[in-house]
Every structure is written in structure tokens, then in C-alpha cells.
Amino acid sequence: MGAGGRMVAPPVRKNADADTHKRVPYSKPPFSLGEVKKAIPPHCFQRSVIRSFSYVFYDLTIASILYYIASTYIQNLSQPLSFLAWPIFWYVQGCVLTGVWVIAHECGHHAFSDYQWLDDTVGLILHSCLLVPYFSWKYSHRRHHSNTGSLERDEVFVPKQKFEIGWYAKYLNNPPGRFFTLLIQLTLGWPLYLAFNVSGRPYKGFACHFHPYGPIYSDRERLQIFVSDAGVLAVFYGLYRLAAAKGLAWVICFYGGPLMVVNGFLVLITYLQHTHPALPHYDSSEWDWFRGALATVDRDYGILNKVFHNITDTHVAHHLFSTMPHYHAMEATKAIKPILGEYYQFDGTPVYKAMFREAKECIYVEPDEGAKKGVFWYKKKL
């Protein structure tokens, strides 16, 4: 009872989870790409060689310091302290090297500098050192950006329709099964994608990022696939020589552990950017580039947003303007939010919760009953 005997209604608690699951509109936006671009300050599209290299040097300096700490101190720790210290080193170094990977990714988008040859040189070196075939990934990733949200033509994390779900899915649709699926995905997902196109779009023939004559690439791209393979092979040879000189355990501790963390984060970041109950997918009857590019979500990784050069929380802007350098992406994101309105999707759910939620909620896609047939939404009922 309130003053004067009136009933006071209790405050209505806002359901954050309901807001998170509120679907992005799938109709054609009432704004154009040009209008979105006009909202962004012009300097955000300017690329600086000096500033871009400053991030390369910063990341490599931190990685060198961590290597020094590991080789000087952690390597000499007695057990059981070493069993605790090495995983910490792997995680921290892996996070830093994920930032290096992101800079190479930026080179692949021609967002590093105004010079394509410089972007490709820096990208080839950095990605090869992380065992990524630079040009191979560059071309398949470019097609991902050209076909985001398309069930037929997108390149990565293409959701299955219900009739494509394997018989084993119902046995994995429980907490232990989802944990096992995520574990395999985060540890083996990246090399399986590169080698066998796992989770990618189906191709006729053997699709592999190391195969110059595979169906992923056109004739004019094949020579650069050889260059990518040569870069990865050169690094493998260097690792072989290191293993011969210092031992396989040394290579695993100083390189293999951090690389596993890098690979895991690449899969996790991409998975959560394109997998969400609120995001639509389209078949060829409904898909267009603009709506597909908007069918992505920004996430919050806390302090790692900065370590990963904000690839995590500015992904929507990145899909709209992929040649924009990362150091302007936060400013651009703030500028376009009022224009995008409901078409902008951000989910601040902690990442460790989000990945299990998405594994539970986003099993396959199908149109809503009685709704547009070309618009597909994630479903979970098997």
C-alpha cells in the first residue's frame, strides 16, 4: 500500500536475456550504405603506415618480453610450479599473438596501409609465422565478406538446416555433449577448416586452403596459393630446425602452446560473431549483401577487446567497411549506432556463457512457420 492507501505497482524488471534474443529486423533497411558511411567522420577511413606499424611493433615487443620471461624464469621453475606457470604463459602469449593475427587479417583487407604490396608483404610474414596460408585465407575470407548471411555462398560457420543435421546431434544435445563439441571446435576447428574446409560452404571437389587447384580458388589466384604454401612450409622448416636443436618439448612449450590459444580464439571469435539467436540467415530468394553484412553481432571480451585490436566489439562496422583500420573502428561504431538502430546487434553476455548458450540455442536454422520462406532463424528443438 502506498500513501493515501493506493496500491503501488512493483517496478518491472527488464529482462536482459529477452533483449539479447530480440531479433534483428530482416526487412530491407530504411537507410542506405551511403547514409551509414556519411555518419562516420572521414578521417576514420584514412590508413597510416606509421600508426599501423606501431601496433605490429607493440605486439611483437610484448611477445618478446613474454618469451624472455618464459625462457629465463618459467623454464627453470621446479615442479609443480612449472605446471601452473606454463599454461599461464600459453594463454597470455596466445592472446598477444591473436592480436598479431588480427593485424595480418587487416592486411588481407587492405586496411593496413595505402599500399597493397606492403599490406600483402606484412600479412604474408605475420600469418606464415602463425602457420596461416595468407593469400589462401585472404581470398576465401574476402568471399565470406561478399556473402555473409547467405546459406548457399557464405564461406565459414554456415549453419545447417534441420534436414542436414546428423543422427548424432541428439546425443550431443546435452551439457557434456556441448562441452565436447566446443572442445573439439576450439582445439581442432581451425586446422580442420584450413585443411578440409570443415564448417565452410560445400564445394564440388576437395576444398583445401593449401590446394592451389582446389575449387575455392580461381585461375588468377593459384600462383599466390603456392606462395602461401611456401611461407607456411618455411616456418615448418624453421620449427623442425628448432626442434632438432632444442628439442620438441621446447618448441611445444614456447610455440605450440600459444599457437593453440591463437587457433582457439580465432574459432571462438568468428563463431560468436556469426552465431546468435537474434541473427537471420537468408537463402538466394531473400539474400542481399547489405542485410547479410548487418547479420553479425558485436561482443564484449573485456580487456581482451584492446588486446585483439577491437575485432571483437566492432565487427558490424568491419563488415560494412572492411578497409577501415582497426584503430578507427570504435569511433566509427559509435557513429553508426544511431543510424542502424535495431539493425545493430550487441551482446554483452560474458563469452564463457555465450559460447555454451549459442551451442544450446543455435543447432540449425529454418524459416518460422507461416513466415517468409527465405528468412531462416536458429532453432534448437530436435
pLDDT tier at 19 (50, 70, 90 boundaries)? low
Contact criterion met (CB below 8 Å) for 200 and 144: no
Q: Take residue 14 and report the three cell numbers written for it.
A: 527488464
Q: Is the pTM of this model over 0.85?
A: yes
Q: Residues with Cβ < 8 Å from 223, sequence gap 6 or more?
A: 212
Least confident of 20-24, 233-237, 252-256: 20-24
Average pLDDT over the chain reads: 94
pLDDT for the residue 79: 87
Q: What is the pLDDT of residues 167-193, one digit of tens each?
A: 999 999 999 999 999 999 999 999 999
Sheet with strand 364-366: strands edge to edge: 281-282, 375-379, 364-366
User: Whats the size of the chain, residue-wise?
Assistant: 382
Q: Exposed (0-12), middle (13-18) or buried (19+): which is 23, by Cβ within 10 Å?
A: middle
| 285 phi and psi angles, rounded to 5 deg | -75, -20
pLDDT for the residue 22: 87
Reference 69, options 57, 85, 58; nearest CA is: 85
Q: Residues with Cβ < 8 Å from 193, sequence gap 6 or more?
A: 156, 199, 200, 209, 267
Rounded Cα gap, residues 374 and 16, in angstroms: 29
Angle between helix 81-108 and helix 257-274 axes, rounded to 10 deg:
50
Q: What is the pLDDT of residues 65-106, one digit of tens each?
A: 999 999 999 999 998 999 999 999 999 999 999 999 999 999
Q: What is the pLDDT of residues 331-374, one digit of tens each?
A: 999 999 999 999 999 999 999 999 999 999 999 999 998 887 89
Q: Exposed (0-12), middle (13-18) or buried (19+): which is 53, by Cβ within 10 Å?
A: middle
Q: Take residue 189 and report the three cell numbers written for it.
A: 576447428
User: 299 has which bridge partners?
Assistant: 347
Contact criterion met (CB below 8 Å) for 332 and 350: no
pLDDT at 166 exceeding the cut of 70: yes
What DSSP designation does 286 have? T
